[in-house]
Amino acid sequence: IDGVWHTAIVVYGREYFFGGGIQSARPSSTAYGKPIEIVQMGTTHIPLDLMTDFLRDLEPRFNMNTYSLLSNNCNNFSEELAQFLTGSSIPAHITGLPADVLETPLGAMLGPMLSQ
């Protein structure tokens, strides 16, 4: 496992991410720092106002109380937004990371604690 990755989606001149709630910032200006890798997901034909409505609809599932390192994190948020905007998934090595971690001896030991 090379790392535990933070993901975000840059669209309409903003970087959208899940960090204690759905947030947006100027691209590459968040507390998470500059990206190590940028993956072009394609273009969207979804208008900004429709995307804003979609983000509002996601708020009950992506907020401070629903965060889970293993099952409801920035990568899950990025996956849902990418699917909505482009019909494409973020890279599988990102979405599969929790399962990869849990398959390691340390992950198997920490899994129950991380799931609480």
Give, for 45, the enclosing helix (H) or strand (E): none
pTM of the model: 0.89
Active-site residue, 45 included? no
The one-letter amino acid at 15:
E
CA distances from 34 to 41, 63, 101 (A): 18, 23, 24
18, 65 contact by CB (below 8 A): no
Active-site residue, 74 included? yes
From the DSSP assignment, how many helices (H) and strands (E) are in the chain? Answer: 5, 3
pLDDT in tens, 70-112: 889 999 999 999 999 999 999 998 988 888 778 888 878 877 7
Q: Pick the catalytic residue from 6, 19, 51, 75.
A: 6
pLDDT for position 47 = 98
pLDDT for position 29 = 92
Q: Pick the catalytic residue from 8, 41, 74, 97.
A: 74
| Residue 49: partners with Cβ closer than 8 Å, 6 or more residues away | none
